[in-house]
Chain A
């Protein structure tokens, strides 16, 4: 029976034109964004590769230019040319070097950019090598000694920089959860109120238990939301792969996605069951806001805690304690996973607590629903609804 209800709910949502169109648009947008961004990203990469033309007379400088460029993390391409006395900058060429390698002339179109800096250190190294050789020393030994002559840096105090990759990935995950929850919450609440205001609920309740009816609706809307999320996730994964973003984040994408999947389902059950029960307190769509606005605002709390508390204090005692509260866990756990700051036993405990609290919440929401669903007119108080249910 619960499946019949879930199936109707699912079909009603999934086959509506509006949802088909919006899903299609989202998928197209994500894929298109990836396709559009990619050329820019590769062009940026090519932009790092600076082309410098070196006159044949200045050619001994070329190895030094390459070493200097790689030390400074600049992709430098060098081309040996016959530049002549008054060279011109061809299209795509950042600079031209002529004259004596120890005192070359650099032609550039702007003093900004990496070329003058790289050239300067290349020339210094060239001259240093020449001088060391002139004094009878071994240039290779000298450069080795120079390379190891760097201080060891230790940062004092506990002021740590927030890892932007982890923050971004964690935020992306809980934000998707938040958006899907808000969307599904409004779907289920409108569904409950639609049944109430069209009075069809009385026919249904004559043969279906209130908790079954509510459960079926949550299941149907939940499966629909999952389909929708999967519909987004596939193009999103395509985008991540296509743009090669995994390497850039440097986080454990696999465990983050796993936690996303688990907490999506758990968070969904926790919040949507409650929303369904609360929606039954009102009789008309217009009155829905009175119940939902406080609920929506309440949902912002775990979202903001996850965004502000976790990055600054990923494994502090407050964070750890809140992680075990069912309403916070769906947001806090994925965020802490993104920061790699949560022990496996903490995740396991949070999952168990959530699993235990879901039937309790369902029972409570079912009572509210049963007590309020036949009440017409104004808004009902929760306590009255529970007593009647």
Chain B
């Protein structure tokens, strides 16, 4: 299956190393979330993928061959800094951008009608972009990334500044595009959203990719943990070998060396009190992100 491969990207601005050996790949049909603090190198990476910036070293390939002008025109791109001609009409603008990407006039027009429909801005086609609300401008921006039927999607913070309804629409569109076989890379600071939406994530910090992989793999803890909610005696301990307990209000957290211990732990709890819920605990992407970032800060210090 085709995949977008980014390998060994290096980019330096003066003394600042913006990217240091960044490598990852996104398979066709995969949603890849790109997270990191501001200035970590997400935007630089995306600009290099688009060929808007040149890397000092490293390569970007699609389906095994370097990205050339022809491939580039089949990428849908939403830059971090939004940009459309403010005084140009929504419809005209989308048709123009589609045609710049090589669509015929008729195809461009049809695509414009379709995407303004899907993204809920069909009524504003004849209005200048600057007359739209910020949220609607954002929808037009997404439409401009999609209007030429791209084979690859690179979206820099597509969710920033959207209301919950628009976030829903946007997520749905990204899922649909991925299901169509498009590799989708997007960056976001909304980690819960990334966790929910993405197959895989990459975390960048100070120009380095410090973690990447499936969300479930990254967030799995070394030792399994469970959360018990219910009325258990204060200070309760099942007294099982290799099992530790932590109490916090009426939440009890249990940690053991293997998932096989779950039944005996639950049995012990049910014996002494009422259990309303017994759930395995995973760390969230947010926790992982904080861990990874602070780990490296310590390492750096």
**Residue positions of A touching B, CB distance < 8 A:** 1, 4-5, 8, 12, 194-195, 198-209, 374, 376
Q: How far is the CA of A207 from the CA of B152 in the complex (A)?
A: 13
Closest chain B residue to A376, Cβ basis: B81
**Most chain A Cβ neighbours within 10 Å, of B52, B72, B75, B97:** B52
Inter-chain contact B53/A203, CB cutoff 8 Å = no
Q: Hey, which chain B residues are within 8 Å of A198, CB to CB? A: 83-86
Q: How far is the CA of A4 from the CA of B77 in the complex (A)?
A: 20
Closest 6 CB pairs of A and B: A199-B83, A200-B83, A202-B79, A199-B81, A206-B50, A206-B77
Q: Hey, which chain B residues are within 8 Å of A5, CB to CB? A: 100
Inter-chain contact B84/A4, CB cutoff 8 Å = no
Q: Nearest chain B CB to A201's CB is how many angstroms away?
A: 7
Whether B114 is near chain A, meaning CB under 8 Å from some CB there, is: no
Whether B101 is near chain A, meaning CB under 8 Å from some CB there, is: yes
Asked, given contacts A198-B86, A203-B77, A203-B83, whether A8 binds B96 with beta carbons under 8 Å apart, the answer is yes
Inter-chain contact A374/B82, CB cutoff 8 Å = no
Q: Hey, which chain B residues are within 8 Å of A201, CB to CB? A: 83
Whether B88 is near chain A, meaning CB under 8 Å from some CB there, is: yes
Q: How far is the CA of A341 from the CA of B99 in the complex (A)?
A: 50
Whether B45 is near chain A, meaning CB under 8 Å from some CB there, is: no
Inter-chain contact A204/B82, CB cutoff 8 Å = no
Closest chain A residue to B78, Cβ basis: A203
Q: How large is the interface on B (under 10, 10 to 19, 20 to 34, 35 or more residues)?
A: 20 to 34
Q: Hey, which chain B residues are within 8 Å of A1, CB to CB? A: 100
Q: How far is the CA of A377 from the CA of B105 in the complex (A)?
A: 37
Q: How far is the CA of A374 from the CA of B83 in the complex (A)?
A: 12
Whether B116 is near chain A, meaning CB under 8 Å from some CB there, is: no
Q: What are 5 sample pairs from A and B whose C-beta atoms fall under 8 A apart?
A: A194-B85, A203-B83, A205-B52, A206-B52, A206-B77
Q: Hey, which chain A residues are within 8 Å of B81, CB to CB? A: 199, 202, 376
Q: How far is the CA of A205 from the CA of B144 in the complex (A)?
A: 14
Asked, given contacts A374-B52, A374-B53, whether A203 binds B97 with beta carbons under 8 Å apart, the answer is yes
Q: Nearest chain A CB to B38's CB is how many angstroms away?
A: 15
Q: How far is the CA of A355 from the CA of B73 in the complex (A)?
A: 32
Interface residues of B in 153-209 (CB under 8 A from A): none
Inter-chain contact B96/A200, CB cutoff 8 Å = no
Q: Hey, which chain A residues are within 8 Å of B51, CB to CB? A: 206
Q: How far is the CA of A361 from the CA of B53 in the complex (A)?
A: 23
Return the contact of A207 from the options B72, B79, B83, B86 (Cβ within 8 A): B72
Closest chain A residue to B96, Cβ basis: A8
Inter-chain contact B79/A199, CB cutoff 8 Å = yes
Asked, given contacts A1-B100, A4-B100, A8-B96, whether A202 binds B52 with beta carbons under 8 Å apart, the answer is yes
Q: How far is the CA of A280 from the CA of B108 in the complex (A)?
A: 29
Closest chain B residue to A373, Cβ basis: B52
**Most chain B Cβ neighbours within 10 Å, of A202, A209, A376:** A202
Q: Hey, which chain B residues are within 8 Å of A4, CB to CB? A: 96, 99-100
Q: Hey, which chain A residues are within 8 Å of B101, CB to CB? A: 207
Closest chain B residue to A200, Cβ basis: B83
Q: Nearest chain B CB to A12's CB is how many angstroms away?
A: 7
How would residues 45 to 79 of chain B score, 1 for a CB under 8 Å from any chain A CB and 0 otherwise?
00100111100000000000000010011010101
Q: How far is the CA of A195 from the CA of B81 in the complex (A)?
A: 12
Inter-chain contact A206/B72, CB cutoff 8 Å = yes
Q: Hey, which chain B residues are within 8 Å of A12, CB to CB? A: 88
Q: Hey, which chain B residues are within 8 Å of A209, CB to CB? A: 69
Q: How far is the CA of A352 from the CA of B75 in the complex (A)?
A: 42
Q: Hey, which chain A residues are within 8 Å of B73, CB to CB? A: 207
Q: How far is the CA of A1 from the CA of B77 in the complex (A)?
A: 19
Interface residues of B in 255-288 (CB under 8 A from A): none
Inter-chain contact A207/B100, CB cutoff 8 Å = yes
Inter-chain contact B88/A203, CB cutoff 8 Å = no
